[in-house]
Amino acid sequence: MAAKELKFSADARSRMLRGVELLEDAVKITLGPKGRNVLLDKSFGAP
C-alpha cells in the first residue's frame, strides 16, 4: 500500500471497517474473564 493513498465513499468505509475488524480480532481475546495474552508480529522492517 502506498504511503499516501486517498480513498473516498464506500471504498474508504469498507477499508476502515476491515481495519477495525482486524483490530477487534487482535484484542477481543484479551477481554473477558480469562484475559489471555496476545503477541503481535509485523511482517516487515528490521527485527
User: Average pLDDT over the chain, rounded to whole?
Assistant: 79
SS3 sequence of the chain: CCCCCCCCHHHHHHHHHHHHHHHHHHHHHHCCCCCCCCCCCCCCCCC
**What average pLDDT does range 3-10 have in this prediction?**
84
The reported pLDDT for the residue numbered 43 is: 78
Confidence of residue 17 (pLDDT cuts 50, 70, 90): very high
- In terms of pTM, does the model score above 0.75? no
Sequence-distant (6+) residues with CB within 8 A of 36 are 29, 30
Q: How far apart are CA 29 and CA 15, in angstroms?
A: 23
